[in-house]
Amino acid sequence: MTELNYMTGFGNEFETEALPGALPIGQFSPQKVKYDLYAEQFNVTAFTAPRAENRRNWFYRIRPSVIQGDYQAMDNGLIRTAPITEAIAPPTMFRWSPVEIPAKPTDFIDGLKTMAANGSAEGQAGIGIHVYVANQSMQGRYFYNADGELLFVPQQGALVLHTECGKLAIKPGEIAVIPRGIKFNVELLDESARGYICENYGHPYILAERGPVGANGYANDRDFQYPVAAFEDLEGNFELVAKFNGNLFRCDIGHSPLDVVAWTGNSAPYKYDLSRFCTMNTVSFDHPDPSIFTVLTSPSGTPGVANIDFVVFPPRWMVAEHTFRPPYYHRNIMSEFMGLIEGVYDAKEHGFVPGGMSLHNCMSPHGPEAEVFEKASNAELKPQRYENTMAFMFESRYVISPTKFALEGDHLQKDYTKCWQKIEKKFTGKA
Ligand SMILES: O=C(O)Cc1cc(O)ccc1O
Ligand SMILES: [Fe+2]
């Protein structure tokens, strides 16, 4: 892969130009822009959002975005949007095997399948949880999502995200976020690709607070990478696909919409290598809550209660003394959707495989399978390193509704809850 250049620093006010002098100096909207470019403002927060939260870009582009055809409705395929009304799910704990890579030619849009969603896209709260499975690059088509920002969590295959702001290359172990409304297409660098998408209808992601941990650690701002301007000057019969208010629409477009020669602002796509996450954990006893592993959070308006937390379980040392080290048995007001990028997750040594998923909804019990309990409650508690593993969780304050595809597809593991049934009664009443 050709090495791409990036700018660094979470949410910085960047400026970048692919041609010298393309970026106006000292003002955003000059009477004439250099190279006869068009100026266009792009806002993902209200004009009046407080300064610290305000996010917008100024694009200097070959044509303004209004030069496009009229939209027509498209088949939504297996893409769904909250609120999900097509199925009524019980509070059962669910687990899924990986969705298979299709045999027929499938690009990122064709291969998007919604597993679950919550909140309301129209109400700008909640999330959509999707998997993508693809075996070809998007050709002659571009996409944007008006319903929310897109967090990419690749599990198999490297991608290049060609966006209005420039290019981002990501591979398993890295993530990327494309803000609401940014146009892009997806190139596959390998034969096939699979991954997870969290579509965030709510407040754009920010970095989690550090509290008394101090000024450093967890996800550090400087490790977030942003693209430098790169433009396509292409004419042809292209298609622009929009996800808007829960449905897909398409229009013809006679040129590449990735024609931004220069931009400045703080609402650009970004990537992050999860191995940069500076993991904190106990050095004494007990199993800390997984909020210590939060990479990105979308606040909900209630302090400390997330619309969506993106949490990872990275390689790490386990040193806790006189402690049951795996995740504890648990019931939670927050709803937990998990995936596995690689390796083994410490609560489930069987059946939760890379590319797989699980859902433990609001107040539904979950925790270590029977074998893990036996092993961990009898293990010698030497320092132990968890290697080659990366699970993650989308944790949300809103109940997560699985789609019909998730509930009725072959990849639903119908025997999941059996993993707990062999947990023994050991109580005898004697100490
Ligand atoms: O349910 C899970 O596996 C996620 C989780 C992990 C953990 O370490 C503690 C609590 C928790 O919900
Ligand atoms: Fe949990």
C-alpha span between 393 and 396 (Å, rounded): 9
Q: Do domains 6-274 and 278-413 have the same CATH topology?
A: yes
Q: pLDDT tens digit string along 210-241?
A: 999 999 999 999 999 999 999 999 999 999 99
| Ligand 1 atom at minimum distance from 289 CA | 9
pLDDT at 1 over 60: no
Q: Would you say the ipTM is above 0.95?
A: yes
Q: What's the rounded mean pLDDT across residues 359-368?
A: 98
Q: What's the rounded mean pLDDT across residues 400-420?
A: 97
Q: What separation in Å is there between the alpha carbon of 363 and the centre of ligand 2? A: 10
Q: Is 366 in the pocket of ligand 1 (CB under 6 A)?
A: yes
Confidence at residue 2, expressed as pLDDT on a 0 to 100 scale:
63
Q: Which two tokens stand for residue 68?
A: 């496009």
Q: Given the structure tokens 């890295």, which residue do they identify? A: 174
pLDDT at 255 over 80: yes
pLDDT at 335 over 70: yes
Closest ligand (CA of 286): 1
pLDDT at 242 over 90: yes
Closest ligand (CA of 363): 2
Average pLDDT for the chain:
97
Q: Which residue in the list 287, 322, 360, 411 is annotated as catalytic?
A: 287
350 is known as an active-site residue: no
Ligand 1: which of 330, 331, 364 to mutate, judged by most atoms within 8 Å of the beta carbon?
330
| Helix H or strand E segment including 416 | none
For 191, 196, 277, 294, the CA distances from 163, given in Å and listed in that order, are 21, 19, 25, 26
Are the C-beta atoms of 343 and 389 separated by less than 8 Å? yes
Judge whether 336 is annotated as a binding position.
yes
Judge whether 142 is annotated as a binding position.
no
C-alpha span between 94 and 394 (Å, rounded): 15
Judge whether 330 is annotated as a binding position.
yes
Q: What's the rounded mean pLDDT across residues 384-408?
A: 97
Confidence at residue 431, expressed as pLDDT on a 0 to 100 scale:
87
Task: List the domain boundaries for the chain.
Answer: 6-274, 278-413
**Fold of the 278-413 domain:** Jelly Rolls (2.60.120)
**Has domain 6-274 been given CATH number 2.60.120.10?**
yes
Ligand 1: which of 279, 359, 361, 393 to mutate, judged by most atoms within 8 Å of the beta carbon?
393
Are the C-beta atoms of 381 and 339 separated by less than 8 Å? no
Confidence at residue 235, expressed as pLDDT on a 0 to 100 scale:
98
Nearest residue to 117 via CA among 359, 282, 287: 359
